[in-house]
Structure 1
Amino acid sequence: MIWQISVALIAVAFVVLVVFLVKTLKAAENSLDKTTQTLQEIQKTVDELSYEVKQVVRQANSITEDVEHKMKQLDPVLESVKNVGDVLNEVTLAAKQVSTSLIGRMKKTSHKAGSKAGAEQVVAQEEHPIDRSMHTYGSTYDRAANSKSEPGWMKWVDIASGVWHKYRS
């Protein structure tokens, strides 16, 4: 009879163990089902995002190609602008040389008489070009105020020369 009670207790313990194992396995199954469901949703989301990312990359590539094409079209225009700038630089240098030589000739003709002209030439050679221009400007207007024999266009040449020197410096 002890044997029977022992076997019955073992059977009851085994049934209790099986019941708890079944509950645990059911809970694990539910967790795995939820995990599988979540992974499937994530996979769908990744697939959708992957498609959208591919579209964005394609659009970015298209935009890049378009920008490169337009930059290639702008290259001749920019080259032309550079050439125009070079031409303008040459023109301004030529204008500077002409005005400098014109001022030099006028200076020579106006400074031929007297020792004061010789002293001014020495001072003008030692000074900065802007200072010489301003010195010429001052001497021209001092004499222009004293004698009206010099033409009025010399005043404008001196002003233009002074402005040009200040602009170039």
Structure 2
Amino acid sequence: MIEISVVVIAVAFAILVVFLIKTLKAATKSLEKTTQTLQEVQKTIEELGYEVKQTVRQANGITVDLQTKMKQMDPVMESVHNLGEVLSEVTFAAKQLSSTVMEKMKKPKTNASSNLSNVPLSKAEQRTVQSYAALNKAKDSKDPNWVKYVDVAAGIWQKFRR
């Protein structure tokens, strides 16, 4: 019986070895395919790496170009900003003038000389009035009030300009 047992064990071992050989061959083929796939992936990564580097270089060039162009546009943008401020000031002055005109139109009309006497004159306007008055006295003009109208108009113009 020992002999039969040894023969059965030998046959079982031979069958086990055959199956192990088949399994090892299949594992070897799988490893070879895995190695081949990894090599292909590595080649692809190397190719992509080169292309990515080229893309990054181009992106850097574009960025430098854009920065240069943006610096060139800065004076234009500043001019547009200044123009916007000027237009805002002009609009504000027009609003003030419009509201002043509307206020004057809403008030009942009074004697023009009383309106002129209420307007405070600057030193320059006072000198102008005095020089016109001196001229009018010398020429003996019939209507010396026109000088005040001119000065009031000049005063309004100066306030409008501010």
Deviations 1:48-98 (A, max 9, x none): 222222222222222222222211111111101111222233333344444
Q: Secondary structure at the match of 2:59?
A: helix
Amino acid at match of 1:91: V
Q: Secondary structure at the match of 1:24?
A: helix
- The aligned residue for residue 92 of structure 1 is 91
Cα distance, 1:3–1:94 mapped onto 2, change above 3 Å: closer
TM-score normalised by L of structure 1: 0.52
Amino acid at match of 1:80: S
Q: Secondary structure at the match of 2:10?
A: helix
Q: 1:12-27, aligned counterparts within 5 Å?
A: 12-27=11-26
Is 1:112 matched up with 2:96? no
Q: 1:77-156, aligned counterparts within 5 Å?
A: 77-101=76-100, 111-112=109-110
- The runs of 5 or more residues in structure 2 that have no matched partner are 112-162
Q: How many residues align?
A: 111
Deviations 1:35-56 (A, max 9, x none): 1111111112222222222222
Q: Displacement of 1:100 after TM fit?
A: 4.7
Which 10-residue stretch deviates more, 29-38 or 8-17? 8-17
Q: Displacement of 1:104 after TM fit?
A: 5.3
Amino acid at match of 2:66: V
- The aligned residue for residue 67 of structure 1 is 66
Deviations 1:105-164 (A, max 9, x none): 5666x7238xxxxxxxxxxxxxxxxxxxxxxxxxxxxxxxxxxxxxxxxxxxxxxxxxxx
Amino acid at match of 1:74: M
- The aligned residue for residue 56 of structure 1 is 55
Segments of 4+ moved more than 6 angstroms: none
In percent, how many aligned pairs have the same letter?
65
- The aligned residue for residue 47 of structure 1 is 46
- The runs of 5 or more residues in structure 1 that have no matched partner are 114-169
Q: Displacement of 1:30 after TM fit?
A: 0.6
Looking at structure 1, the residues matched to 31 and 9 of structure 2 have their Cα atoms a distance apart, in angstroms, of 32
TM-score normalised by L of structure 2: 0.54
Q: Displacement of 1:7 after TM fit?
A: 4.5
